[in-house]
Amino acid sequence: MKKEGEILKKIVGVVLMIFLSLVLTACGNKVSVEDLKANDWQMDMEENKEDINFKVSFSDHIMTWAPDMSTMKSEASNEWEKMGEDLGKQIAENIKYKVEYELNGKKIHLKEDDLKLDDDYTIEKKDKNIVLTPDKKDGKKLVLTPYSKRNTEKESSNTKTPPEKKKTVDLNNLIDKFKNDGLEVNEPRKMTKDDYGMAPLKAKEGMIFGVQLGSDGEYQNARIFSFKTIDDLNDTKKYYDDLGKESSMTFSYTAANEDKLVLMQFNGDLPKEVVDKYVDNADLTLTPVSFDTSSQDTQVDNTNSSTDAASPEQQQTQQEQTARQQDQVQQTQDQQQQANQQTQQDPQQSDTQNDANAQYGTVQPGEGPQQIAGRYGISVDELFDANGMDRSNFYFDPGQQIRVK
């Protein structure tokens, strides 16, 4: 009898161990809302042929999907394609899907209209990952891998000293300093999205003002930016510097102070001696340029000086050449006057008058048809018609002279 009692105890013990093992296994695999909210996740889709994965985060009832562009490999073959890819990444990173979810034991239901998602999944833990297996046969398995632990700042604050924050410069104070020191500051204002054009939108603040009038009657502008980080400053500066390397038409001056996190960008048609005044006043360092920046007036003065130093024989030859040039100019003027008289008698005089009344402007860096038309108060179609273009065939290059009236 005693022996039978011991056998019974052993049987009961084994049964209890099996029962507890099953309970613990079930509890260990069960996923709670707190488990979902504990991390940001990278979501890998089974049989995903795209290079783009999703970054996922959870609130109490919403699962947010956002494209993780860091996993996308670049296929650009030149700088312009690279700029296009970067712009595409910035747009894609702002796309977010709000997926409603309902967690019930080992089942989770996901619903989002734009994704045409309204499905049930079995959800379970596998090591550090969370796996969602679809109930539908043609559904895709979703694997959530920990992306980054939240509140890591608290964990590391005891061992690392936080970096010292740099004091941000007030751009209005810099603008006032320019004015007080006698520098030209015309129509200063905060920059709009159109003022940035294709440039990165990484500045904390940006302002634009006119420095001096160009030959087209438009202000040659300067832009001034403040930033939160040196990386954002360098990215923006690189954009303008790279544009200048592509073509002289898109060249502009840049100057920066990395300690103050300030960057200035100047219209490339401004004389360097004018740019230097603003650079020195704001305590910036001008980016070196690889060409002669002396003004045309200086070159003319040098030419006159060499003429004054010429020998009598050379002066006589130069005088004869000048006389012949003046005769040619006079003949050209006479021919032009005769042509004008004939034009006035031409039945198509109205077209000539329209050309005479035409107004022209200059394309600024980063501007497209909509920005140009808006700046001159005309429609895009009027802009195309005035320049012999249409919506399927147009091209605008920074610095290009265009007809606007």
Task: Examine the pLDDT at 150 and tell me if it is beyond 60.
Answer: no
Helix or strand run (H / E) with residue 167 = none
Q: Exposure string (b/e) for 57-94, b if CB count within 10 Å is 16 or more? A: bbeeeebebbbbbeebeeeeeeeeeebeebeeeeeeee
Q: Are residues 141 and 182 in the same domain?
A: no
Mapped onto helix, strand or coil, the DSSP state of residue 374 is: helix
Are 224 and 250 in contact, with CB atoms under 8 Å apart? no
Q: Residue 328 has what pLDDT?
A: 63
pLDDT tens, position by position, 176-234: 999 999 999 999 999 998 888 888 989 999 999 999 988 888 899 999 999 999 999 99
Task: Examine the pLDDT at 148 and tell me if it is beyond 90.
Answer: no
Per the listing, tokens 């544009």 go with 243
Q: Are residues 118 and 56 in the same domain?
A: yes
Are 275 and 289 in contact, with CB atoms under 8 Å apart? no
Q: Are residues 134 and 176 in the same domain?
A: no
Q: Are residues 261 and 144 in the same domain?
A: no
Task: Examine the pLDDT at 90 and tell me if it is beyond 90.
Answer: no
Q: Are residues 72 and 152 in the same domain?
A: yes
Residue 111 located in a structural domain:
yes
Can you state the percent helix, strand and coil of the chain, rounding each to 5? Answer: 40, 25, 35
pLDDT tens, position by position, 93-103: 677 888 899 99
Q: Are residues 263 and 194 in the same domain?
A: yes
Helix or strand run (H / E) with residue 206 = strand 205-213
Last residue of a domain, one of 156, 179, 210: 156
CATH of the domain at 392: 3.10.350.10
Residue 140 located in a structural domain:
yes
Residue 343 located in a structural domain:
no
- What does the angle CA 326 – CA 330 – CA 335 come to, to the nearest 5 degrees? 150
Task: Examine the pLDDT at 262 and tell me if it is beyond 90.
Answer: yes
Task: Examine the pLDDT at 164 and tell me if it is beyond 90.
Answer: no
CATH of the domain at 135: 2.40.128.370
For the chain, the average pLDDT equals 77
The two structure tokens encoding residue 126: 């596998």
Q: Are residues 195 and 240 in the same domain?
A: yes
Better-predicted residue by pLDDT, 370 or 74? 370
| CB atoms inside a 10 Å sphere around CB 324 | 10
Structural domain of residue 271, as residue ranges?
A: 171-286
Q: Show Cβ contacts of residue 197 under 8 Å, excluding neighbours closer than 6 positions.
A: 364, 365, 366, 367, 368, 371
Last residue of a domain, one of 263, 286, 309: 286
Q: Are residues 149 and 86 in the same domain?
A: yes
Stated pTM of the model: 0.38
Task: Examine the pLDDT at 3 and tell me if it is beyond 90.
Answer: no
- 292, 287, 247: which is closest to 271 by C-alpha? 292
- Please give the share of the chain, as a percent, with pLDDT higher than 90: 26
Helix or strand run (H / E) with residue 315 = helix 312-345
Q: What is the mean pLDDT of residues 127-143?
A: 87
Task: Examine the pLDDT at 156 and tell me if it is beyond 60.
Answer: no
**Environment class of 210 (CB within 10 Å of its CB; exposed 0-12, middle 13-18, buried 19+):** middle
Number of domains in the chain: 3
Task: Examine the pLDDT at 73 and tell me if it is beyond 90.
Answer: no
